[in-house]
Chains A and B, each alone.
Chain A
Amino acid sequence: MPPRLAVRDLAKHYGGVQALRGVTLHVEGGEVLGIVGDNGAGKSTVAKILSGATFPSAGEVLLDGSEVQFANPAAARDAGVATVYQDLALADQRDVVANFFLGKEILSGNWLGRRLGWLDTRAMAQHTVAELARLHTRIPDVRVCARDLSGGQRQALAIARAAGWTSKVLLLDEPTSALGVEQQQQVLDLIRRVSAEGIAVILISHQMPDVLAVCDRVVVLRLGQVAATLAGDKLTSENLVGYITGAKIGD
């Protein structure tokens, strides 16, 4: 069976700058793959390509074995790759329900819904509560504005929303930066639960402890190439730092 998501010989250059020089990696359903690397190693370029924000200069992206090209973020999401952005992309003055359903609102089944786009707010609220409860996110009231949530709750909302979009791949760009200890823990728990549902999770992060805590396998990028893929007992803090900085070379 082909992997859930694979990229082959991915390259990207911006003018003369070579951001990616042939990256090959894959992730299976139910697996948490970490992508780490120093600034400029190519992490965010990989994220941009997978989320449909930019096109690769060369190479291919395979979803369930068939090649895909994402024209824009919506196309990526519709194909099954949902992204949680670093800034979370929440509408702060809108409530939790509105944010959770942004872009996929439930309309009333009657004439009003079809003709006028009348929202079925009750069903939306119930679904939101159920989804958040399923992922054990602690948001006390779904009618609260997003800006009145704590940092961890906002993160949880964004992740739960993205997980609700997809059953295939969830891409997380720096999800735990700017969070407190307890909230980081909550977010990591949430990532584990999403992964336990069979979704392939890609975690792009600077935070070594988080990567070690939650990832099954970690790809280290350095200067636009895969420096190492670490798993099992090779997945240690020393190895990660060694390959990220270039102190260690080769697999």
Chain B
Amino acid sequence: MARAADIGTAEPGQEPGVAPRQTWWRRSQAAVRDLWIGGVLLVIMAGFSIGSPYFLTRANWLNTSSTGTEVLLLAVGETFVICSGGIDLSVGAVLGFSGTAGAWVMATGFAGAHGAAVGAVLVGFLAAIVAGVAFGLLNGVLVAWAGIPPFVVTLGTLGIATGCGYLLNNGQEISAIPGSVATFGNTNLGGWIPVPVLITAVITIWCGLLLAKTRFGAYTLSIGDSRDAVIRAGINDRRYLLRIYLLSGLLAGVAGVLVMARLGAGSPDSGATDNLNAIAAVVIGGASLFGGRGTVIGSVIGTGIIAVLITGLVLINVPPFWQEVTVGVVLIIAVYIDQLRNRKSSRN
């Protein structure tokens, strides 16, 4: 074609296509990056094993795993939110509120309940989960339809959930609930597997598959990556955003149940430190706060690091106040690494 020669007038271009070898290299880099954070967890565990004879014991496993359970449930929900380019600051407060709400329902609606009181307990648990879902619904509607930034929405619902939790019993915890709740929360299967840990494991595996293998997971990541691309592909982005925040609220409600069951009481403050820990776990696990990237397995490893730090520092006689300092430092380092990665990839 004679006219094709005219194309030479355009400006000289960028580099030609990416060679397959480079592609392979990039992929293995990604794999190493994911393994690297798991390696950090192993190094920390090895350090604590050397530093304390109590680290590798059943007691410490039970302690660490139940600490990890409540953080992990929040982190799993938070993984979806962060992958979608949002943030849910309310999860810890929702955990506290939903547990307290469940206990309040049991204490006020079934005041005379005694023995196992299966009916009362089920209603209480359901109430806690409904409370979590309700906050997820509120977050989702405000983010997806009102178009308010997730940071602002969930900062608002953080305050609302905290205040509502205090309002239920003048800021006091509610412990007048059937004893079977605490029994449920503190039963260890075979002496090694607490029931809450088992429940959390099942939910985590389920959600891991949901994010990695289903259309919902694919849209969650794509919304975080380019909401425009998703909208132009004809996908109802708002419906999926709503579902993402609903899932986060639901898991916060479940975490509220499990924490209430472990404590044997509904405590509005029980999730106060879990917010920071859950977000830190997700980010340490390799999710990008800019959205579009993250895995549930990464968040599991991130939660592992935080839970091991929290319980391990106590074992090597570091005052417990240093726990939050340590998690804060780890969070900042992880976000810094995340930003470095993003700058690097945007240069490519």
Q: Is there an interface contact between B23 and A150, defined as CB atoms closer than 8 Å?
A: no
- Taken together as a complex, chains A and B put the C-alpha atoms of A188 and B11 apart, in Å, by 16
In which size bucket is the chain B interface? 35 or more
Q: Is there an interface contact between A140 and B10, defined as CB atoms closer than 8 Å?
A: no
- Taken together as a complex, chains A and B put the C-alpha atoms of A151 and B348 apart, in Å, by 12
Q: Is there an interface contact between A105 and B222, defined as CB atoms closer than 8 Å?
A: no
A233 to B: closest C-beta gap in Å: 12
- Taken together as a complex, chains A and B put the C-alpha atoms of A23 and B229 apart, in Å, by 29
B339 to A: closest C-beta gap in Å: 15
Q: Is there an interface contact between B233 and A144, defined as CB atoms closer than 8 Å?
A: no
Contacts of A183 in B (CB 8 A): 13-14
Q: Is there an interface contact between A91 and B17, defined as CB atoms closer than 8 Å?
A: no
Q: Is there an interface contact between B226 and A105, defined as CB atoms closer than 8 Å?
A: no
Q: Is there an interface contact between B232 and A94, defined as CB atoms closer than 8 Å?
A: no
Interface positions of A from 71 to 111, Cβ below 8 Å from B: 72-74, 77-78, 83, 85, 87, 89-94, 98-99, 102-105, 107
Contacts of A121 in B (CB 8 A): 213
Query: A-B pairs with CB below 8 Å: how many?
Result: 142
- Taken together as a complex, chains A and B put the C-alpha atoms of A104 and B181 apart, in Å, by 46
Q: Is there an interface contact between B230 and A91, defined as CB atoms closer than 8 Å?
A: yes
Contacts of B218 in A (CB 8 A): 94, 98, 105, 119
Q: Is there an interface contact between B230 and A150, defined as CB atoms closer than 8 Å?
A: no
Majority SS of interface residues in chain B?
helix
Which stretch of A7-15, A30-38, A54-62, A208-216 is in the interface?
A208-216
- Taken together as a complex, chains A and B put the C-alpha atoms of A212 and B213 apart, in Å, by 45
The answer, among A103, A139, A180, A209, for a CB contact under 8 Å with B234, is: A103
Interface positions of A from 139 to 179, Cβ below 8 Å from B: 139-141, 143-144, 147-153, 176, 179
The answer, among B3, B12, B13, B232, for a CB contact under 8 Å with A151, is: B13
13 A-B contact pairs sorted by A residue (CB < 8 Å): A73-B234, A77-B234, A91-B226, A91-B230, A94-B221, A102-B222, A118-B215, A121-B213, A141-B23, A150-B17, A179-B10, A181-B12, A207-B10
B interface list, Cβ under 8 A from A = 1, 3-4, 6-20, 23, 26-27, 210, 213-216, 218, 221-222, 225-226, 228-235, 288, 292-293, 345, 348
Question: Closest 5 CB pairs between A and B?
Answer: A180-B13, A74-B234, A103-B233, A117-B215, A209-B6
